[in-house]
Amino acid sequence: MYTILGSGGCGLAGPDRSLDRFNEAKQLWDQENPANYAVTVSFDRQYGFPSDATIDYIKNAVDDELSLKASNFVVLPVP
């Protein structure tokens, strides 16, 4: 589940289904031609999941970057 925030930190209206491909951390690495990307990832110290990721799809281009941040993480009880 995700929320898209604008530059002012406010949630943007309407769902953006284009981010569905990033619902799971594994999907970050399943994109086409990942060897061409510049990727920076930070991991949660306690649980080890990727907490921040920045993907630069074209290293020498402007405004092609994507930044993802995991926030408000909650551990769910094991059934």
**pLDDT recorded at residue 1:** 47
The pLDDT value recorded for residue 3 is 55
| pTM metric for this prediction | 0.53
Confidence (pLDDT) at 26: 59
**For residue 6, what pLDDT is reported?**
57
Which segments of 3-77 does DSSP mark as H helices, in order? 25-28
| pLDDT per position as a tens digit, 14-61 | 555 666 666 565 555 565 666 667 888 899 999 888 888 888 877 788
Contact status, residue 51 vs residue 72, Cβ threshold 8 Å: no
Average pLDDT over residues 69-75: 81
The beta strands (E) that lie in the chain are given as 38-43, 50-56, 65-69
Closest CA to 54 of 73, 34, 69, 71: 69
